[in-house]
Amino acid sequence: MSKKIKAIRGMNDLLPDQASIWQSVESQIRLLLSSHGYGEIRMPIVESTALFKRSIGEVTDIVEKEMYTFEDRNGDSLTLRPEGTACCVRACEEHGLLYNQTQRLWYAGPMFRHERPQKGRYRQFHQVGVETFGMPGPDIDAELIMMTAQLWQQLGIQDAVTLQINTLGTVDARADYKARLVEYLTARKDDLDEDSRSRLESNPLRILDSKNPQTQKLLDGAPSLMDCLDLESKQHFDELMEMLDKAGITYEKNPRLVRGLDYYGKTVFEWVTDKLGAQGTVCAGGRYDGLVEQLGGKAIPAVGYAMGMERLVLLMETLEQTEGHKASVDIYIASVGDKVYQTALILAKTLRESLPGRRIQSHCGGGSFKSQLKKADKSEAQYAVILGEEEVDNGTVTVKPLRGQGEQLVVEQAALASTMTQLLGEKA
């Protein structure tokens, strides 16, 4: 026997039981976004490598070591998208969506990063991303955060996530701060971990993000970005916090929150949990007023966020909040006898027409009643509808409750749909 081919490390199959949870969560997210007036945009999975280099930043983890980059048959350098923001900006510019108008957009789909696979960290993972354009004030920042807070509530994870916020100020304020931070850390260079030492020249702000305890201790005495903030950023941030207070959303100010991508400025935020180990960030975002221009467009303010679907579902599972999201069969139709399946398939069709949204599974593949009822039970169906040759002859069916909802009953086939509607009630 030849060797079996396996999936690529860090890239997961999503099996039906899991996929039904994802579908339900995704549809809640879609409803929420649409209720806020956001429109979906779908971008390709592959883009020019230059797009990510120019937007995310040359000296970020993503661009330096995580991208799936390859040459296609024409010799062009292409990259499997590691995130969606740059792609979304590219698409908006290309189709004139940012011309004299505001935009509220969202997308969902796979992203690719060559990281070390572990729980909550994969090489193909899935994000739902939200991007807005043309709105400079803290109102839209607040709307985005309020929207996510509402989602956590709907998914039953609100008590397990906390909101961390920070402001990175304007480009000038950051440059000023960068210089002060570098001065402070250069004087203490010998005590820095190796990663941070190399970042001192390439991307010093990322040192604030370091997971190294000794480096974090060193940072306790470092100058704070808050002290370098320009007035405008300060007011923007204060007003955002005021709005969050009004909306009853609690948050932690985290002056060391910088985010791993270069394009952020002013507001940044993360929703984090302590229930998923080191992979604690479920949703992250911020303002990127400079990115559109950096990619060749006009200067247009923008803010957005992305949530990781795998981490979201993992968290729901950890908190046992997935039960209501599983899809199970409502009615399982069992049929035994010569060509009885023909009546069963027609009955199933009529039932589906009368009970839209219900899951009705008609048994195929033969077998005894006993084995079919076993399958019905395994499918978690509420009711089995049973058909034998006798039932076909006299135009009836037997309806058998499978979850202890009383005695089985015999009904006319013509009355089956109305009986089942009564028994199952309205589909929520």
By CB under 6 A, what part of segment 20-59 binds ligand ATP?
A: none
Between strands 103-112 and 39-40, the pairing is: parallel
User: Shortest gap between Cβ of 50 and ligand ATP (angstroms)?
Assistant: 19
State yes or no: residue 333 binds ligand ATP (CB under 6 A).
no
User: Shortest gap between Cβ of 136 and ligand ATP (angstroms)?
Assistant: 22
User: The tokens of 28 are what?
Assistant: 């809640």
User: Is 47 or 83 the residue whose CB approaches ligand ATP more closely?
Assistant: 83
User: Shortest gap between Cβ of 114 and ligand ATP (angstroms)?
Assistant: 9
State yes or no: residue 131 binds ligand ATP (CB under 6 A).
no
**Cα pseudo-dihedral 261, 265, 266, 272, rounded to 10:** 0
Taking the mean position of all CA atoms in its chain, how far away is CA 256? 24
State yes or no: residue 282 binds ligand ATP (CB under 6 A).
yes
Note whether 235 and 37 are within 8 A (CB): no
One of 110, 136, 260, 337 touching ligand ATP (CB under 6 A): 260
State yes or no: residue 83 binds ligand ATP (CB under 6 A).
yes
One of 52, 107, 122, 269 touching ligand ATP (CB under 6 A): 122
User: Shortest gap between Cβ of 334 and ligand ATP (angstroms)?
Assistant: 42
User: Shortest gap between Cβ of 143 and ligand ATP (angstroms)?
Assistant: 19
State yes or no: residue 279 binds ligand ATP (CB under 6 A).
yes
**Cα pseudo-dihedral 170, 258, 295, 145, rounded to 10:** -90
State yes or no: residue 306 binds ligand ATP (CB under 6 A).
yes
User: Shortest gap between Cβ of 117 and ligand ATP (angstroms)?
Assistant: 8
SS3 assignment, position 376? helix
One of 52, 107, 125, 288 touching ligand ATP (CB under 6 A): 125
User: Shortest gap between Cβ of 54 and ligand ATP (angstroms)?
Assistant: 16
One of 281, 379, 396, 413 touching ligand ATP (CB under 6 A): 281
One of 115, 176, 195, 230 touching ligand ATP (CB under 6 A): 115
User: Is 284 or 333 the residue whose CB approaches ligand ATP more closely?
Assistant: 284
Q: Which residues contact 228 (CB under 8 A, 6 or more apart)?
A: 169, 173, 174, 176, 177, 180
Q: Give the Cα separation of 67 and 120 in Å (integer).
A: 18
Note whether 255 and 225 are within 8 A (CB): yes
User: Is 25 or 307 the residue whose CB approaches ligand ATP more closely?
Assistant: 307
User: The tokens of 344 are what?
Assistant: 């069963």
User: Shortest gap between Cβ of 346 and ligand ATP (angstroms)?
Assistant: 46
Q: Which residues contact 117 (CB under 8 A, 6 or more apart)?
A: 9, 10, 123
By beta carbon distance, the residue nearest ligand ATP is: 308
Which of 332, 328, 330 lies closest to 384, judged by CA? 332
User: Shortest gap between Cβ of 164 and ligand ATP (angstroms)?
Assistant: 12
One of 54, 121, 174, 206 touching ligand ATP (CB under 6 A): 121
By CB under 6 A, what part of segment 308-327 binds ligand ATP?
A: 308, 310-311
Give the interface size with ligand ATP as a residue count (CB under 6 A).
Answer: 19
Taking the mean position of all CA atoms in its chain, how far away is CA 29? 9
State yes or no: residue 127 binds ligand ATP (CB under 6 A).
yes
State yes or no: residue 284 binds ligand ATP (CB under 6 A).
yes
User: Shortest gap between Cβ of 180 and ligand ATP (angstroms)?
Assistant: 25
Question: Near ligand ATP by CB under 6 A, which window of 92-100, 277-285, 381-389, 417-425?
Answer: 277-285
State yes or no: residue 288 binds ligand ATP (CB under 6 A).
no
User: The tokens of 138 are what?
Assistant: 């803290």
Per CB under 6 A, residues contacting ligand ATP are: 83, 113, 115, 120-122, 125, 127, 260, 279, 281-284, 306-308, 310-311
